[in-house]
Amino acid sequence: MTETLTMMLVVGLVLSFTILGIFIWGAKQGQFDDGEKMMSGLLFDSQEDLNDAIEKEKKVKSIKEMKSRKNKTKEDKNS
């Protein structure tokens, strides 16, 4: 029973590290990079899509600022 579990553990670890190694190798070799898709996305975005993205970024920034102000006031009250 213990031999089977040990063998399964060793095989599982070897297989996991092999797959991890292949993934890291592929990432370093640029197998997951798709520059063509990114450039096409930039070329074919409409003005409206770009404006929506800018507005979304502004909203996220303002929410973060509000949260930091809220946390700062809480700290001031606790002091």
Domain range summary for the chain, segments of one domain joined by +: 1-33, 43-79
What is the C-alpha to C-alpha distance for residues 57 and 63, in angstroms, rounded to an integer?
Answer: 10
**DSSP codes of every residue in 27-59:** HHHTTT--HHHHHHHHHH--HHHHHHHHHHHHH
Phi/psi at 56 (nearest 5 deg)? -65, -40
pLDDT score for 14: 98
Residue 74, amino acid: K
37 Cα distance to chain centroid: 18
User: Cα 30 to chain center, whole Å?
Assistant: 17
- State the pLDDT at residue 58: 93
Question: pTM score, two decimals?
Answer: 0.44
Tens-digit pLDDT profile for residues 2-49: 999 999 999 999 999 999 999 999 999 888 777 666 666 666 667 787
